[in-house]
Structure 1
Amino acid sequence: MNKQAFQNKHYTVDEATKKLEGFCAYQERSHKEVVEKLRGMHMIPEAIDHIITHLIRENYLNEERFAKSYAQGKFNIKKWGKNRIVLELKQRQISAYNIKSALAEIDEGEYLATLDELAKKRLRQIKETNSQKRKKKLADYLFYRGWETHLVYEKINELI
């Protein structure tokens, strides 16, 4: 079914509930993603509230579980720092409590080892000979990936 047909189809609450159960079972979702999906299905606010309540009650939708899964995935796969993870979770309207809980799941030793590995790898790729420019390029790269300022400067001073 093409996207246009999907947008024009009208769903009953039961049909939408079944569709969203599958959507949430496939991968962890934030409340915001689910609400946007339901709005895209042209569901009325009362139906959205009803479906969200059902999904939470049946444990298809769990914001804390989503936050932990998201934080672990972005750290392990994309090598993001905590600042970037926090920013992305805030954009998904995750509560401060759940963000803090998700960050607590990241092992501190593994976190610092990842920063070390990432910085050394990037430094090998930087062809610049001027040490100040090398430091700036490395810092910019690590800041973009969301690593904390004090950790970045400590690492740069250690490596260059």
Structure 2
Amino acid sequence: MEQEATYRGTVYPWQCDHVGHMNIMWYVGKFDEANWNLFARLGLTPSYLRSSGRGMAAVQQNIAYRRELLAGDIVEIRSHLLELGDKSIRFRHDMTNAETGEIAASCEITGVHMDRGLRKSVPFVDAIRQAPRGILPNRPRPEP
């Protein structure tokens, strides 16, 4: 299912390394910005996280680098929700060169919903668990 972009930006010269392409730290940074846009669409907004004392913690991240990005390239990331569990979420970002349409990198992340005070995982509230029903791949979801 095609999703709206969760990040759009440009590769700046100062983001490039000695080889001339965007350094890996910037791929991670751009994927992180896409995380927060995806989370907001699910109801995990900054306001919700602050008022509820909740947070999100990445517990696994796998990145595949496919094509280099150079200074001046326009970048777009589209995010795909793969799974929403009671306390965890798994999703994939596809970073493309917006001019060529080629996938430059993809990143799969597993995150955990946590209580910031207790520093332990906690279940998502029902409103968040219900939000992605229309955007998860067509697989039966168990009822709560």
Interval containing the TM-score (normalised by the shorter chain)? 0.3 to 0.5
Normalized against structure 1, the TM-score is what? 0.33
Bigger helix fraction:
1
Larger Rg: 1
Length-normalised TM-score, structure 2: 0.35
